[in-house]
Amino acid sequence: MKVTVVGFWGAYPAGSEATSCYLFEKDNFRLLIDCGSGALAQLPKYVDPYDLDAVVLSHYHPDHVADIGVLQHLIKVQNLIREQDHSLKIYGHTDDQVAFAGLASSDTEAIAYQPNQLLALGPFKIEFLKTIHPVPCYAMRVTDGDKVVVYTADSSYQDAFIPFSRNADLLITDCNFYQGQDGTAAGHMNSEEVGMIAKKANVKTLLLSHQPHFGERKQLMVEAGEIFSGKINLAYTGYQWTGFS
């Protein structure tokens, strides 16, 4: 599978970039995980958004769903232009019924995922884990039957991430704080915590995402690297992982 970082900022986007949004591709199936602020302006660099096969959302904070509204507009307008009646499937949890209902439109279908069940989408199978966050949020373990990618979504540290991330080929983490800072109240993790998860779970590559708008972000890699000796990358717009790095 191929994973592309469409957006990696926490909370709000920096100029000309986007908040959380990741494109997973395999066998011509295009899965979008989270659709944050600015995502629709980045996405056409990698895929025609009209060609997305499914969208799965971790939770309903704006930095993960802000561009769902304009994605709905895109499908609607392109259906008119192309004289098609495509309906995009958007998967979300139902812990927040009002937010979930907003995923449905004339051109999109809201589909509830059951966090305790495996979700099969094209070549992908997704397992969920509830995170620790101010609103209900789910981490995802995505496999194509060959490689495994784990996305923590937004969360403060929990031991449950270790078995959930076990032997993952790629671990994409919330890394919103630096060494020594406590992100618990905000529901986020720091560089040491994600380094510890990567080490204990024996992952191959650690990708630091949901990045902070303060400090020298390259330092996050140094700090995580003091704990985890495997490969560490700092997410950036257009970062691509194909399973071999």
Applying CB under 5 A, does 34 fall inside the site for Zn ion? no
Q: Closest CB to Zn ion among 67 and 154?
A: 154
Q: Closest CB to Zn ion among 61 and 93?
A: 61
Number of residues in contact with Zn ion, rule: CB under 5 A? Answer: 3
What six digits make up the tokens of 9?
A: 């900022």
Q: What angle do CA 192, 193, 195 make, to 5 degrees?
A: 65
**Residues 231, 216, 23, 116, CA torsion sign:** positive
Window of 37-45, 147-155, 159-167, 235-243 that interacts with Zn ion by CB under 5 A: 147-155
Interaction with Zn ion in 48-107: which residues (CB under 5 A)? 61, 63
- For the bound state, the minimum distance from the C-beta of residue 36 to Zn ion, rounded and expressed in Å, comes to 8
- For the bound state, the minimum distance from the C-beta of residue 10 to Zn ion, rounded and expressed in Å, comes to 5
Q: Which residues pair with 149 in a beta bridge?
A: 142, 170
The residues, ordered by sequence, that sit 6+ positions from 94 with a Cβ below 8 Å of its Cβ are: 100, 112
Interaction with Zn ion in 168-227: which residues (CB under 5 A)? none
Applying CB under 5 A, does 26 fall inside the site for Zn ion? no
Please tell me the distance from the alpha carbon of residue 221 to that of residue 231, in angstroms, as a whole number: 10
Give which of 226, 137, 213 is closest to 180, Cα–Cα.
226
Window of 38-46, 75-83, 154-162, 212-220 that interacts with Zn ion by CB under 5 A: 154-162
Amino acid at 221: M
Q: Closest CB to Zn ion among 61 and 217?
A: 61
Contacts with Zn ion by CB under 5 A lie at: 61, 63, 154
